[in-house]
Amino acid sequence: MVHERSRRDGGREWWTLPGGGIDPGETAEDAVRREVLEEVGLVVKEARYLQDFPYPSGMTSVFACTVGDGEPQLGPHVTGPEPIGLYWVPLPDVGPGGADLVPVFPMIVAVRLE
């Protein structure tokens, strides 16, 4: 699972997953493909809808994606938090939190299947 490290103006850093909003006229799957390409430079080969979760700003749809070859790369910093790093996290290390686990929040995700 690819995780993005971000920083706000105040210097606070955190891990997040690629994702974002749906543009007018886009389907949810179109938005998944666009957001993953924009944020981490990976082409989504297949996007599989998993489920919706309530989120403070509305509803979040979660997708599991297979991506093409290549390594994730930081996209351009346009607005919002500044992206500062990317990391492939093995699925066994992904969890609800803890010293050695990366927390997962309901967002669109890109998963490398091996």
CATH number, domain of 39, equals 3.90.79.10
Reduced to 3 DSSP states, what percent helix, strand and coil does the chain have, rounded to the nearest 5? 15, 40, 50
The pLDDT score that the predictor gives to residue 110 is: 45
Which domain covers residue 54, as residue numbers? 2-103
Domains held by the chain: number: 1
The pLDDT score that the predictor gives to residue 28 is: 92
With respect to residue 84, please indicate whether it lies within any of the assigned structural domains. yes
With respect to residue 62, please indicate whether it lies within any of the assigned structural domains. yes
With respect to residue 109, please indicate whether it lies within any of the assigned structural domains. no
The pLDDT score that the predictor gives to residue 80 is: 61
The pLDDT score that the predictor gives to residue 94 is: 63
With respect to residue 110, please indicate whether it lies within any of the assigned structural domains. no
Cβ atoms of 82 and 71 closer than 8 Å: no
With respect to residue 7, please indicate whether it lies within any of the assigned structural domains. yes
Which residue numbers in the chain have pLDDT < 50? 98-103, 105-114
With respect to residue 111, please indicate whether it lies within any of the assigned structural domains. no
The pLDDT score that the predictor gives to residue 67 is: 87
- Note if the pTM is more than 0.75: no
The pLDDT score that the predictor gives to residue 107 is: 41
